[in-house]
Amino acid sequence: MTNKIDIRDLDLFYGKFHALKDVSMAVRQNGITALIGPSGCGKSTLLRCLNRMNDLIPGCRVSGSVALDGRNIYAPDAEVASLRKRVGMVFQRPNPFPLSVRDNVVYGLKVAGSHDRRQLAETAERSLRGAWLWDQVKDKLDAPALGLPLDQQQRLCVARLLAVQPEVILMDEPCSALDPIATMKIEELMLELKRDYTIAIVTHNMQQAARVSDFSGYMLLGEMVEFGETNQVFTRPADKRTEDYITGRYG
Amino acid sequence: MRILPKHTQRAAIAALGGATLLTLSLLVFIIVFVLEKGLPVLSLRFLFTNPQDMGRAGGIFPTLVGSVVLPLLAVAIATPLGVGTAVYLTEYTRESRLTRVIRFGTDCLAGIPSIIFGLFGFIFFVTTLRMGWSIISGGLTLAFMILPTIIRTTEEAVRAVPRAYREVSYSLGATRWQTVRRVILPNALPGIVTGVMLGVGRSIGETAAVIFTAGSSLRLPSSVFDSTRTMAVHFYILAREGISTENAYGTAAALVIAVLSVNLIAYWLMNRVMARRS
Ligand SMILES: Nc1ncnc2c1ncn2[C@@H]1O[C@H](COP(=O)(O)OP(=O)(O)O)[C@@H](O)[C@H]1O
Ligand SMILES: [Mg+2]
């Protein structure tokens, strides 16, 4: 197995606030890498570094390197739009556009310049199947996406992402707005998706990290306290602070 | 002594309800008053025949044309400029001293009396650029007058588009312009249309700035370089110079109905757009 993403000595500042401190870790190809830690420790921030979503935040500065397939995405000649096509994101709250189901799925293709109706329809179907949503929505592709139940909206967001054929899928607490059954479905979906994609997920739910991930990183106050195989992090943590968190003594 | 919440609650309902009622009845009163006096004069013939004897007799056709053409021209010029400025300020620049100065400037511009715009238009378009009293001078002047409103409402509308939509769009590899065109503008459309309609309303009702720049010719214009008279100006002149009170009210009625229909049509369009989108 190889590393899809290599993070080296990453520091990030929001203005004067030092949000990520010298973080190093790797995201394994075709694996699920989980980031856990208490709220506000920098999980989302780290995840958003991987497709440079933090570029949109005024006053945010990054130093260090994030290599995707060996090439630093923060290099001066790196292209952000094409990076984001390779490294896509599923957000915490399901956030379909106020458009039809179909128009949501093909959004990324359209901005990439594809307008062939047949091809768009084929990709839409393939992506919706990939997100296990096809059977539920095949008869209402022109219905408003915001009319779907929340878990279907979230899987629509996954489908919308699959349509642009990313290599890496970043998920920021994708289940936090969903009920347990819907959460299970998304988790199963992740396990299915990792055969074709590389996944990095932020979760505040440790059981979830333990269930789905291959590697886990425990963060605290902007530092990567511990990073390793999930099994090892959860059963034999090397750091006392990790152990406290895992056993619920954090606080 | 403490007044019971129950009583303050009742007092609040009475005060707020009373304010609403007063506003509504004033509005209804004005409309009914104008229509009552004007409707007897108003007819298709009145709308579509030329005036005679300065407007003492005949209809108001040229002023109807003026009232359609001038606001249309103003909006056609101001909308792209205003929407462009607003989008640039909100999406392409970071909040800074410069953007605050620009915003303060547009706010000041919005508060300037229309006659000042008229004076500016007269000096700049009519005289300096030698456009004369013409539809083009008037249209440009009105465009500058309504520009701040369009910028402001568009800015508000663009700001109200959820951050999440932008993030998703960028995260799918869209460029800034693609995000603006495909996500931000469609979602801000209701607000933009509101601003434009406000502009149309202000243009239709404007007199001072129009007299200074488009003149008050009662002849039917044949190009944008001809002078024209709008219904509002016509009403002003008829009433002011005591030419014909009757025809003045007829014109006023037409004006009121025009403004109401513009708003109704805008409202109807809005609803259709919204229904299609969600
Ligand atoms: N846009 C921002 N500007 C300033 N500070 C931020 C911003 N986003 C997050 N932070 C701060 O950075 C820290 C990490 O935030 P975040 O990455 O969202 O944490 P997590 O996802 O682990 O809950 C928090 O202290 C938060 O207040
Ligand atoms: Mg977070």
pLDDT band with cut points at 50, 70 and 90 for residue A249? low
pLDDT digits (tens, 9 = 90+) for A98-147: 999 999 999 999 999 888 999 999 999 999 999 999 999 999 999 999 99
Query: In this predicted structure, which of B53-57, B64-68, B144-148, B206-210 has the lowest mean pLDDT?
Result: B53-57
Q: Is the CB of A149 under 6 A from ligand 1?
A: no
Predicted TM-score of the model (pTM): 0.85
pLDDT in tens, A40-75: 999 999 999 999 999 889 899 999 999 999 999 999
Q: Which of A12, A45, A92 to mutate to test the pocket of ligand 1 (most atoms within 8 A of CB)?
A: A45
Interface contact B170-A84, CB threshold 8 A: yes
Query: CA nearest A124: which of A137, B28, B197, A113?
Result: A137
| Tens digits of residue pLDDT in A180-197 | 988 998 999 999 999 999
Task: Tell me if residue B222 falls in helix, strand or coil.
Answer: coil
Taking the alpha carbons of B170, B172, B173, B179 in that order, is the dihedral positive or negative? negative
Cα of B261 to nearest chain A Cα, Å: 29
Percentage of chain A beyond pLDDT 90 is 84
Helix (H, G, I), strand (E, B) or coil at A178: coil
Q: Is B173's CB within 8 Å of A81's CB?
A: yes
Question: Which residues in chain B have Cβ-Cβ distances shorter than 8 Å to A91?
Answer: 164, 167-168, 171
Mean pLDDT of B187-191: 90
Average pLDDT, chain B: 92
With cut-offs at 50, 70 and 90, classify the pLDDT of residue B190. Answer: confident
Ligand nearest to the CA of A17: 1
Helices (DSSP H) in chain A: which residue ranges? 43-49, 80-86, 101-105, 107-111, 117-130, 134-137, 150-162, 180-193, 206-212, 230-235, 240-246
Per DSSP, the residues of B154-173 read HHHHHHHS-HHHHHHHHHTT
Q: Give the number of A-B residue pairs with CB atoms closer than 8 Å.
A: 66
Domain residue limits, chain A: 3-97+166-246
- Under an 8 A CB cutoff, do B173 and A164 touch? yes
1.10.3720.10, 3.40.50.450, 3.30.9.80, 3.10.20.600: CATH of B44-277 = 1.10.3720.10
To the nearest whole Å, the CA of B155 is away from the closest chain A CA by 19
The answer to whether the CB atoms of B182 and A111 lie below 8 A apart is yes
Task: Find the A45 Cα to ligand 1 centroid distance in Å.
Answer: 6
CA A45 to CA B63: how far, in whole Å?
Answer: 62
| CA gap B244, B165 in Å, rounded | 57
Q: Would you say residue B1 has pLDDT above 70?
A: no
| Ligand 1 lined by A48 (C-beta under 6 Å) | no
DSSP-derived pairing of the beta strands A71-72 and A87-90? unpaired
Q: Which pLDDT tens digit goes with each residue over B94-121?
A: 888 888 998 899 889 888 999 999 999 9
| Position A29 pLDDT exceeds 60 | yes
Predicted confidence at residue B228, as pLDDT, reads: 96
Pick the CATH number of A3-97+166-246 from 3.40.50.300, 3.40.50.1100, 1.20.950.20, 3.40.1080.10: 3.40.50.300
| Cβ-contact A150, A92 below 8 angstroms | no
pLDDT for the residue A114 = 87
8 Å CB contact of A111 and B168: no
What does the mean pLDDT of chain A come to? 93
Residue minimizing CA distance to atom 27 of ligand 1 = A40
Contacts of A84 in chain B (CB under 8 A): 170-173
Calpha distance A21→A28 (Å, rounded):
22
Mean pLDDT of the region B34-58: 92
**Whose Cα sits closest to atom 1 in ligand 1?**
A57
pLDDT of residue B124: 97
A70 lines ligand 1 (CB under 6 A): no
User: What proportion of chain A, given as a percentage, has pLDDT over 70?
Assistant: 98
A217 lines ligand 1 (CB under 6 A): no
B181 touches chain A (CB under 8 A): no
Task: Inform me whether the C-beta atom of residue B222 falls under 8 Å from chain A C-beta atoms.
Answer: no
Q: What is the pLDDT of residues B215-226, one digit of tens each?
A: 999 999 999 999
The Cα–Cα gap between A99 and B277 comes to: 6
Q: Which of A164-168, B8-12, B71-75 has the lowest mean pLDDT?
A: B8-12
pLDDT band for B276, please (50, 70, 90 cuts): low
B182 with A110: Cβ contact below 8 A:
yes
Asked if B277's CB is within 8 angstroms of A99's CB, the reply is yes
Q: Which residues contact A182 (CB under 8 A, 6 or more apart)?
A: A150, A151, A154, A175
Torsion angles phi and psi, residue A89, rounded to 5: -140, 140
Domain ranges of chain B: 44-277
Average of per-residue pLDDT across B153-163: 93
Q: How far apart are CA B192 and CA B234, in angstroms?
A: 30
Q: Do A53 and B167 touch (CB under 8 A)?
A: yes
Other beta carbons less than 10 A from residue B127's beta carbon? 12
Q: Given this model, what pLDDT does residue B221 score? A: 93
Q: Chain B: residue nearest A164 by CA?
A: B172
Q: With a cut of 70, say whether residue B141 has pLDDT above it.
A: yes
The verdict on the CB of residue A43 being under 6 Å from ligand 1 is: yes
User: Which of B170, B182, B278 has the CB atom closest to A146's CB atom?
Assistant: B278
Residues with C-beta atoms within 5 A of ion ligand 2? A 44
- For residue B200, give Cα distances in angstroms to B97, B192, B239: 32, 12, 23
pLDDT over 60 at B278, yes or no: no
pLDDT over 60 at A251, yes or no: no
Tokens representing B222 are 């044949």
Distance from CA of A87 to the nearest CA of B (A): 8
Cα gap A131→A128, rounded to integer Å? 5
Q: What is the mean pLDDT of residues B144-163?
A: 93
Pairing of strands A168-172, A87-90: parallel
Place of tokens 């920021």: A172
pLDDT at B2 over 80: no
